Structure 1
Amino acid sequence: MSTSLAGQLPSLLAEVSGMSAPREVLHGLITSVVSGTHLVVDAPHADSPALTALRNLVRTLVPTPLGALATTTLSQATTPASLLDSLLVSHGKDAGEVPPDVAAPASLPVVTSGLQLPASSSPGTGGKASALSSAPTSPAGGYFPPLMATDELRRVAPVWMVVGLDMTHKSVQRALLKTLSYGRFSLGGTVYTLPANFVMVAVCTGADAGHVTSPLRDYFLTRVSLGASARIECPYPSAKARSFPYTAGDLVEMRMELARVYLHPDVLAYMKALVYALRQDPCVAEGITARAVPALSMAARVSALLKDRLFVTPADIQIVIGPVLAHRISLTSWSSSDATVLDLLEDHVSAIDPPV
């Protein structure tokens, strides 16, 4: 029997009344919520009911009041300002839907690459928020005006589901990239800071995520696919009938457990060997950046935790390497016309012996 809450999580979610989802999508969402990272969902065939069910599934995974969910649908007409405005929710939104037993703590531990940082650190700055927030700013800097008080009536939603990111103009994607990189943005003369462990679920409704710029794709931990025949069922009942598989306090516990998952030096060396081999492969045009190893490490730790283990095995890396790296990699003309990124990853995994 599982001793950790994370180990029990998949079965707990399966017991939520009326909810069902493909295993790949469910585990991708769990990985993002537990690690406080971002997820791409390819859903080119998803209809409106499927997207509504996916949104409800995200709500179910993040206990209120942490689960103040902002949702928006983007198009080619979306501007950078309207994109950033869609990140904001009013204070007290969803307040009538908060069960009395899921009160959130003042802050959550920030988990990054298995290390726990102060909750004040911004996820977009790699734990260096203090230097950024204390540095003088100037309108001449080109992005942030002088710091002003945060809007008391609106705040950044801790969870954001955006549909159609691959359909937007590159200027919109650049604005989002800057926001994720700096961990904050300016709108209407006010500076808003992304909350710790901010989670973004980007749903790509085109053929794939290829129309999302490569630097932006690099900010998403994993990518999953909602196939044409896959179905998601997750009704959103009334506030009184709504039940959560875990509380906000449980989420804190899972994130603290994640920080304690051990990565043996031999397993880390195996992971780096895979990344190095991919970087040297003439078929790989781009995508294997400095974020590749930390991303693999984070996803492998979550994989171990969901199997009720506090240590990573080579099998965990082999499971997550596809979802973590496939959306980052672009192939060159040297690759076979019928070859895919997943085929390339499988070849490298087969060629490199894991540690015993």
Structure 2
Amino acid sequence: MTGRGDDRGGLRGDQAGVAAFSAAFHDVVANVEKVIRGKREVVESAAICLFAQGHLLIEDVPGLGKTSLARSLAASVNAGCHRIQFTPDLLPADITGTMVYDQRANEFGFRAGPVFTNLVIGDEINRASPKTQSALLEVMEEGRVTADGTGYPVPRPFMVVATQNPIDMDGTYSLPEAQLDRFLMRLRMGYPSVEAELEILEGRQVGRRVEDLTPVMRAEDVVARAAQTLAVHVAPTLRRYLVDLVAATRAIPDIVRLGASPRGSLALLRAVQVRAAAQGRTFATPDDAKSVAGPVLAHRLVLSPEAELRRVIAEDVIDEILQVVPSPRRLVGI
């Protein structure tokens, strides 16, 4: 026993490292909030996604700050950032790069595309063809691009922040399940409150723009800080709870045609660890899981046609699962 009580017995973690991570995490959040006003929960979730070294899908109507959130995140950690406007005529090589013949060297060489940066903003990703969308599959999963049989790694940290508009469906292509599964989280911005919208107007007058942000962290430090969250202890009973939540998405065939995959379990685990560390804790709790379950799991569900006709949404399914699946009352350490 470690003297932290029965529910925290046997915990292993670097308290100093987690405390340093928590301070850095909140510095990033506070910096992003200079531009993105009144959206603390969304900003914190985006930061969790960054430090979990995952990819983020932001889905909402135009004008709510989706791209500004991504750019603010990149500016806060002094990361390289490339924006790609997805259009129907965009080709896979326009994203990943292509082999180009060098006349002087009399050989082909690889010319890197805009994906070779720390943070890639894919604006309106669902406007590109499925073939072009699939160009991101390898790099999102493996952190590299293969061309002519040779792998070219992208810089670390590497994060794809994609946006899509759920309203204007003319000329759009739905993201395939295989690609949705590679996003660690899906967030919706939502309209700001009246007070937050007033702050946005006032902020523009005093220069609160993405271009005016000062980095609070180096890009290379993101990888080191992310490694500190691996010290967060997840008790066996909590790990079982995470698996039970994911398994429950596969057990309601009348509502869910396709549940979350094991990749969803891994994503949930990483998000839980980062959230706990952001709170300054060396151990995770069921509340951490409940907080991130919606953004991590909802986009991985494929609803049945009957459920769609009843206008059931995936977030409601996750909320119901959280109410039904019993959470552990005691977290027993190893």
TM over 0.5: yes
Identity of aligned residues (%): 22
TM-score for both structures, normalised by structure 1: 0.71
1:134-157, Cα deviation, whole Å (9 max, x unpaired): xxxxxxxxxxxxxx8766999811
* Cα distance between partner residues in 1 of 2:112 and 2:264: 38
| Structure 1 letter corresponding to 2:235 | H
1:215 match: 178
* Cα distance between partner residues in 2 of 1:10 and 1:317: 18
Residue 179 in 1 paired to residue 152 in 2? no
Deviation at 1:259, TM superposition (A): 1.2
- Of structures 1 and 2, the larger Rg is shown by 2
Residue 337 in 1 paired to residue 300 in 2? no
* Cα distance between partner residues in 2 of 1:20 and 1:273: 35
Deviation at 1:18, TM superposition (A): 3.9
Distance change >3 Å, CA 344–CA 71, structure 1 → 2? same
Please, which of 209, 232, 237 is the counterpart of residue 235 of structure 1? Answer: 209
* Cα distance between partner residues in 1 of 2:173 and 2:314: 12
Please, which of 299, 310, 313 is the counterpart of residue 285 of structure 2? Answer: 313
* Cα distance between partner residues in 2 of 1:303 and 1:272: 18
2:89 match: 77
* Cα distance between partner residues in 1 of 2:265 and 2:113: 39
1:355 match: 328
Deviation at 1:170, TM superposition (A): 0.9
Distance change >3 Å, CA 11–CA 34, structure 1 → 2? closer
1:4 match: 19
Deviation at 1:272, TM superposition (A): 1.0
- Please show how residues 101-250 of structure 1 align to structure 2 within 5 Å: 156-186=116-146, 191-207=151-167, 211-229=174-192, 235-237=209-211, 243-248=214-219, 250=221
SS of residue in 2 equivalent to 1:326: helix
2:40 match: 23
Distance change >3 Å, CA 210–CA 4, structure 1 → 2? farther
Report if the CA contact (8 A) 1:72-1:162 is conserved: yes
1:254 match: 225
Distance change >3 Å, CA 173–CA 155, structure 1 → 2? closer
Report if the CA contact (8 A) 2:96-2:112 is conserved: no
* Cα distance between partner residues in 2 of 1:155 and 1:338: 36
Deviation at 1:248, TM superposition (A): 4.4
* Cα distance between partner residues in 2 of 1:274 and 1:7: 27
* Cα distance between partner residues in 1 of 2:88 and 2:259: 25
Distance change >3 Å, CA 347–CA 190, structure 1 → 2? closer
* Cα distance between partner residues in 1 of 2:265 and 2:297: 10
* Cα distance between partner residues in 1 of 2:298 and 2:58: 13
* Cα distance between partner residues in 2 of 1:254 and 1:196: 13
1:152-199, Cα deviation, whole Å (9 max, x unpaired): 999811211110111211111222223334542245897532234411
Distance change >3 Å, CA 253–CA 190, structure 1 → 2? closer
Distance change >3 Å, CA 253–CA 194, structure 1 → 2? closer
| Structure 1 letter corresponding to 2:57 | V
Residue 328 in 1 paired to residue 291 in 2? no
Provide the aligned C-alpha RMSD in A: 3.2
* Cα distance between partner residues in 2 of 1:13 and 1:179: 25
* Cα distance between partner residues in 1 of 2:140 and 2:21: 27
Gaps spanning 5+ residues in structure 2: where? 1-15, 99-107, 330-334
Residue 32 in 1 paired to residue 44 in 2? no
2:74 match: 59
TM-score for both structures, normalised by structure 2: 0.75
Report if the CA contact (8 A) 1:218-1:287 is conserved: no
Higher helix share: 2
SS of residue in 2 equivalent to 1:267: helix
Residue 288 in 1 paired to residue 260 in 2? yes
| Structure 2 letter corresponding to 1:259 | L
| Structure 2 letter corresponding to 1:338 | R
Gaps spanning 5+ residues in structure 1: where? 87-147
